[in-house]
Structures are given as structure tokens and as C-alpha cells.
């Protein structure tokens, strides 16, 4: 006993020693905890970099700008510290100090601030040398007064083309640049991308980002006013300089570059559409496009070219968002490729556009089929030592799964599952003569069809054309569980539902609607369970028998914000018995309820940490 007490005291003393040592190291300055290796002897070298930013922005804005500016030190002036042993730092091969590198760093930082709209920043550098042994350490500090951020005074479009000018004015509300918006090159770049996206959705197939540019006008209109009085002119110049310093504003105009290629101003239309649904992954696109070794089926303005006939035309047409005669829409073109690739019947989708005549485009889609069928077998084992009846059980089960990605040649997904298992009593040799070896037996089978479209009675429902990944889900499942001496449970489940998704730039909206959901249960209670009911009456609530005829709707939204935040929102509602409960003969056999639930999750990421939280609420009646 005495020996154990001594060991405990020694461990406690060592723990206290290490704690004091860590606190002592943490209290030391970073300079004392930094070791320099492979430094130039006899020459001043860079030991520290620091940026001090002064401005009128918020604390978070100044912190972000300071962090970004620290990334613009010239490579020959940057100090790279490596963290070692939790609290220590090491600088290896520090660069030799050269004032030119500091000037170059200031130029880089000024260019970055210009890109953010700060054109009137002032810079001041401070160099401090310190000798430590044979080391000549240099700490460089750059103090920046960022000045006023330039704002946009007016926005205009001069595109020298009637149709392009009209489109720009019609879509002006979607611009992120407004009167008073802070100027930044990133904002201008986003506006040019937006304009190109608009035009390429309206047939301007050959128009590129290089064909548009933003012109900035910094001229003060008051200076254009003619005056013969030199004192008046000097007064105007001084007033203009004061305004630029206190509230700098610029005028912005989006213009089109002059070009000799008239096709850049041509609005192209969709001509013919060709599908190659049996493309091999080793095929060369240019070769199969001109090959005549295909069977060709014409379906209106589209052509299906194949050699075996593994796919029907219908699923291809249903997931193509372009048709002959309409203006070429680049967004619909890429949406077609993405949607065809997400069905599951094809593992890869490529495409090609070939010009025909002066204003027409032929579209070619090359689809590489995925493996049509696959079969998996899983074997699982488990051990349960807390069973109320047997006490020591060993379970073994197997799961068979079969998947077909192209049912009836229509890209329909089909999944079949079969599962069976038993639980064996391992306590038979411990005077348990009344118990059997097999304690539980279960078997289940299920089948699910996923149709790559919304099957509904309404034709030409325009709302469906705006959503992605449309699916109709049909599923069946049957199960049987036999718990020896306790109960026998039989269940049959079936549902019909719709799932669709709308993909946006930074968020996804997913809907799942099940208008029909049927769950039928049958329970036989055996003497062992009746005995448990007598001992614990509340246990009977877990074995209520009843059927469910329900409808449910769920909505899920995921948001990936630009500020490293992600949001997850889920809303769900389910009701059962609203219709079938009206029949008196079924009221005692079905559950009748309505429930509503909501969930919210958010995570915020920083460079070295992350914070996440979750909230959930539900209500039922």
C-alpha cells in the first residue's frame, strides 16, 4: 500500500512539473521561443514581418485585409516560421535583408489594395536591426493607412449592338454593381462574367469574356467646365482633389471591344441533336462522329446512333433541355450534360458542338454506359450479452443486393435486397435446459424502382423543367421476425414518391414528396412477452399493433456561403389517417396523427478551427 502511495506522489509531482514548465514557456516572448538555423553569418537577415493597417473599416474587415496583406511580402523578404513542440518556433535559411525587397513588397501590397478599391493608401516602412550573438536580425514593419475606398458613382452600358444593349438593360437588376457600391476588381470581373453568361444563354455562342471590358472614368465633370480665370481653374482643381480624398467616386461603363469577326455578334440556333449512348471509353470522338458503322434512328430533330440497341430514345430526350430552332443556351447545354451524367445509366458524358451554316449548331452527345448490373453479398456477425431472455446471444446475417442501372432500356434504376439472419443462444450449456439454440429468426426482401422522371398525369408542366435530378420512387418491402417464445412480427411496406432537386450557385434544394405510403403490421404475442407485460405494463406501448396510410413531404436546403459558413435546413411534415380514417371500419386498425419536425445545422470554419451547432424541434398530434 505504501509503495502505491509513493508512485502516486511521483506521478502527481511529474504532472505538476510539466504543467509549470509549459506555463513558463508560454509566458516567454515569441522571440525567446524562436530558434534560427542556417542563417547568413555577418549579414543582416530577415527575422520578422509585420503589417499594421489603419483605416475606418470594421474590426473584421481590417483583420481580413491585414491577413491578406501579409501574404504579399516579397519572397526574398518573407520570414517563414515553423512551429515546433507546441510552443516553439524555428526559422530556417532566412533571406538576407535588402531594402529593394521591402520596396517590392510595398508595391505588391499596393496592387492588392488597388484591386480592393483602395487607390489612396499611404505606406511607411520601419526597419529595426538587433544583434544576438553573431546574428544580425532585421524586423520589418509596414504601416499602411488604407484611405477611403472608392465607390461607384454611375453604371452604364455602351455595347454598340442593339440586341446586346437591350439585353443588358433588361438584366440590369441582376447586377451586383449599384450606385454607391465599393469598387473592386473582383466585383468588376463578376459583372463581366454575368454579362457573358447572359449573352451565351441568348445564342451568342462565340462571344467570350475578352470581347467585353469595363471602362473607368475618374474625371471630375467640374474640371471640364471652361473658364479663362486661372485662379478659378486652380480653385476647381483644389476642390476636385479634396473631394477625391474625402469621397472618391468613379464612373463605370461596360463596353464591347471592336472586332473584325462578325460571327461574334451572331445569335446561333440549335440545329440537329445526335446521341451516341453506347460510346466506349476508348473511342475517339472525332472518329465516331464521322463513322458510318451505326444504326441511326430519327426522332424529329434528334438522331439516335447505336450498334447494339441498349437504350431507348425517351430517357435521352426527357433530360435534354434544348430543342431545334431555339437560340443556343449554354446553361441548358451544360445542364443537359450534367443531368444525363447523374441518371446513373452512364458513367461519363462528353459532347461536341459543330457549326453548320452561318448561324446553326449541331449538338453531339457521347455517353459511356456504366456497368449495367452488379451483385453484392455481405456477411455480418454480432454479440449481445444483455438480452432479457437468453442473456448471451450470437447473431449472424447475410444481405444479398442486386442492382440494375438500365431496366427495360430506359435508364431506370432497380435495386433488390434480400436479408436473413438468426440469433443463437450461447448459454445452453449453463443449466438452461428449457431454452432453444435458435432464439431469433428474421427474413426480409425489398425492391425499389427509381424512374429518371416525374411520372404524373399532367403534360407540359413547365415548373418541372426548372428542377434537376427528377425521380419517381416506387418501393416494396416485406419482413418476418420470429423471436422464440416472445412474438412473431410480420410487415409489408410500400410507397410511391417523387424526389427533385434545384441546384443553385451556392445552395441545393431537395424535395421528397410521398403521396402514398402504406405500412401494414401483424403481431402475435407469445407467453414470454405476456409475462414481461405483467412485470412492466409500460412495455406494452412498444408493441402496439396498427397500420399506417400516410403522406409526407420533406424539404432540405444546403448552403455553402462564401465566408466559410455552411448551413443545413430540413423541414418535414407527415400525416396519416386523414383519408382512411373517415371509414369507420378502419378507424381501430390504423394510426391517426400529424407530425412536424425541423432541423438546423451550421458550421463556421477558420484556418485552424471550426465551430458547429445543431438545433432540432418536432411536434406531433
Q: What is the mean pLDDT of residues 300-322?
A: 94
When the pLDDT of each residue in the chain is averaged and rounded to a whole number, the result is: 86
pLDDT in tens, 175-229: 988 888 888 888 999 999 999 999 999 999 999 999 999 998 876 545 445 455 5
The reported pLDDT for the residue numbered 25 is: 47
The reported pLDDT for the residue numbered 26 is: 45
Helix (H) or strand (E) holding 343: none
The reported pLDDT for the residue numbered 99 is: 94
Residues 199 and 468: their CA atoms lie apart, in Å, by 23
Q: What is the mean pLDDT of residues 250-270?
A: 92
The reported pLDDT for the residue numbered 29 is: 52
Q: What is the dihedral of CA 438, 440, 445, 450, to 10 degrees?
A: -140
Residues 196 and 331: their CA atoms lie apart, in Å, by 11
Q: For the chain, how are helix, strand and coil distributed in percent, rounded to 5? A: 25, 45, 30
Which cell goes with 362?
449541331
Q: At 610, is the pLDDT very low, low, confident or very high (cuts 50, 70, 90)?
A: confident
pLDDT in tens, 446-484: 999 999 999 987 766 666 777 778 899 999 999 999 998
Can you tell me whether residue 449 is helix, strand or coil?
Answer: strand
Which cell goes with 111?
496592387
Q: What is the dihedral of CA 237, 239, 245, 251, to 10 degrees?
A: -70
Residues 533 and 241: their CA atoms lie apart, in Å, by 90
Q: Is pLDDT larger for residue 249 or for residue 608?
A: 249
The reported pLDDT for the residue numbered 443 is: 97
Residues 263 and 525: their CA atoms lie apart, in Å, by 80
Nearest to 396 by CA among 347, 362, 440: 440
Buried b (16+ CB within 10 A) or exposed e, 259-287: eeeeebbeebbbbbbbbbbbbeeebeeee
The reported pLDDT for the residue numbered 7 is: 43
Parallel, antiparallel or unpaired: strands 81-84 and 88-92: antiparallel
Is the pLDDT assigned to residue 5 strictly greater than 50? no
Q: At 253, is the pLDDT very low, low, confident or very high (cuts 50, 70, 90)?
A: very high
Residues 104 and 73: their CA atoms lie apart, in Å, by 8
Which cell goes with 33?
521561443
Q: What is the mean pLDDT of residues 352-367?
A: 95
- Chain Cα centroid distance, residue 172: 28
pLDDT in tens, 265-293: 999 999 999 999 999 999 999 999 999 99
Residues 202 and 588: their CA atoms lie apart, in Å, by 61
The reported pLDDT for the residue numbered 185 is: 87
Q: At 154, is the pLDDT very low, low, confident or very high (cuts 50, 70, 90)?
A: confident
Which cell goes with 83?
512551429
- Name 443's Cβ contacts closer than 8 Å, sequence gap at least 6: 419, 420, 421, 479, 480
Residues 574 and 553: their CA atoms lie apart, in Å, by 6
Which residue's C-alpha cell is 482633389?
Answer: 241
The reported pLDDT for the residue numbered 581 is: 72
Residues 420 and 482: their CA atoms lie apart, in Å, by 12
Which cell goes with 383?
454479440
Parallel, antiparallel or unpaired: strands 122-132 and 373-384: unpaired
Parallel, antiparallel or unpaired: strands 487-503 and 468-483: antiparallel
Under DSSP, the state recorded for 434 is: T
The reported pLDDT for the residue numbered 332 is: 94
Taken as a whole, the chain contains a residue count of: 621
Nearest to 423 by CA among 456, 399, 394: 394
Q: pTM to 2 decimals?
A: 0.77
Amino acid at each position: 500500500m505504501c509503495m502505491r502511495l509513493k508512485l502516486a506522489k511521483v506521478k502527481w509531482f511529474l504532472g505538476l512539473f510539466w504543467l509549470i514548465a509549459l506555463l513558463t514557456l508560454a509566458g516567454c516572448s515569441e522571440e525567446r521561443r524562436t530558434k534560427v538555423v542556417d542563417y547568413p553569418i555577418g549579414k543582416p537577415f530577415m527575422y520578422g514581418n509585420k503589417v499594421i493597417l489603419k483605416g475606418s473599416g470594421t474590426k473584421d474587415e481590417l483583420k481580413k485585409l491585414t491577413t491578406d496583406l501579409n501574404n504579399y511580402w516579397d519572397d526574398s523578404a518573407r520570414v517563414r516560421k515553423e512551429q515546433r513542440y507546441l510552443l516553439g518556433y524555428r526559422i530556417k535559411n532566412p533571406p538576407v535583408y535588402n531594402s529593394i525587397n521591402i520596396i517590392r513588397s510595398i508595391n505588391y501590397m499596393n496592387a492588392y489594395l488597388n484591386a480592393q478599391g483602395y487607390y489612396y493608401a499611404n505606406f511607411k516602412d520601419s526597419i529595426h536591426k538587433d544583434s544576438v550573438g553573431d546574428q544580425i536580425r532585421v524586423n520589418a514593419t509596414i504601416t499602411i493607412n488604407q484611405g477611403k475606398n472608392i465607390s461607384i458613382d454611375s453604371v452604364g452600358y455602351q455595347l454598340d449592338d442593339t440586341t446586346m444593349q437591350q439585353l443588358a438593360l433588361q438584366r440590369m437588376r441582376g447586377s451586383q454593381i449599384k450606385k454607391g457600391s465599393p469598387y473592386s476588381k473582383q466585383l468588376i470581373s463578376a459583372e463581366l462574367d454575368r454579362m457573358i453568361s447572359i449573352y451565351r444563354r441568348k445564342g451568342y455562342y462565340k462571344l467570350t469574356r475578352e470581347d467585353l471590358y469595363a471602362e473607368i472614368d475618374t474625371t471630375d465633370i467640374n474640371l471640364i467646365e471652361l473658364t479663362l480665370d486661372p485662379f478659378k481653374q486652380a480653385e476647381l482643381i483644389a476642390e476636385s482633389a479634396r473631394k477625391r480624398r474625402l469621397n472618391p467616386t468613379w464612373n463605370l461603363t461596360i463596353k464591347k471591344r471592336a472586332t473584325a469577326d462578325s460571327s461574334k455578334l451572331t445569335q446561333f440556333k440549335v440545329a440537329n441533336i445526335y446521341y451516341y449512348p453506347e460510346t466506349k471509353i476508348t473511342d475517339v470522338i472525332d472518329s465516331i462522329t464521322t463513322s458510318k458503322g451505326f444504326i441511326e434512328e430519327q426522332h424529329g430533330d434528334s438522331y439516335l446512333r447505336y450498334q447494339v440497341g441498349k437504350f431507348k430514345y425517351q430517357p435521352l430526350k426527357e433530360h435534354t433541355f434544348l430543342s431545334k430552332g431555339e437560340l443556343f443556351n449554354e446553361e441548358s447545354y451544360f445542364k443537359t450534360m450534367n443531368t444525363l451524367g447523374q441518371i446513373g445509366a452512364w458513367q461519363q458524358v462528353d459532347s461536341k458542338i459543330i457549326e453548320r451554316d452561318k448561324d446553326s449548331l449541331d449538338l453531339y452527345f457521347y455517353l459511356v454506359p456504366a456497368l449495367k448490373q452488379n451483385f453484392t453479398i455481405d456477411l455480418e456477425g454480432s454479440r449481445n450479452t444483455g438480452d432479457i431472455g437468453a442473456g448471451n446471444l450470437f447473431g449472424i446475417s447475410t444481405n444479398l443486393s442486386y442492382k440494375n442501372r438500365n431496366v427495360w432500356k430506359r435508364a431506370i434504376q432497380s435495386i433488390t435486397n434480400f436479408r436473413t439472419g438468426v440469433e443463437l443462444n450461447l448459454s445452453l450449456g449453463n443449466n438452461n435446459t428449457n431454452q432453444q439454440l435458435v432464439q431469433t429468426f428474421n427474413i426480409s426482401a425489398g425492391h425499389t424502382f427509381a424512374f429518371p422522371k416525374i411520372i404524373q398525369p399532367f403534360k407540359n408542366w413547365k415548373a418541372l423543367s426548372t428542377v434537376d435530378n427528377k425521380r419517381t420512387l416506387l418501393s416494396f418491402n416485406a419482413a418476418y421476425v420470429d423471436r422464440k417464445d416472445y412474438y412473431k412480427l410480420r410487415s409489408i411496406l410500400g410507397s410511391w414518391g417523387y424526389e427533385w432537386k434545384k441546384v443553385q450557385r451556392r445552395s441545393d434544394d431537395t424535395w421528397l414528396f410521398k403521396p402514398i405510403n402504406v405500412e401494414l403490421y401483424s403481431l402475435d404475442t407469445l407467453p414470454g412477452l405476456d409475462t414481461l407485460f405483467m412485470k412492466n405494463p409500460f412495455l406494452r406501448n412498444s408493441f402496439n399493433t396498427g397500420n399506417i396510410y400516410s403522406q409526407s413531404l420533406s424539404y432540405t436546403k444546403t448552403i455553402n456561403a462564401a465566408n466559410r459558413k455552411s448551413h443545413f435546413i430540413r423541414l418535414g411534415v407527415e400525416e396519416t389517417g386523414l383519408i382512411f380514417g373517415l371509414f369507420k371500419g378502419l378507424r381501430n386498425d390504423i394510426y391517426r396523427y400529424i407530425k412536424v419536425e425541423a432541423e438546423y445545422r451550421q458550421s463556421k470554419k477558420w484556418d485552424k478551427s471550426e465551430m458547429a451547432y445543431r438545433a432540432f424541434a418536432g411536434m406531433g398530434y
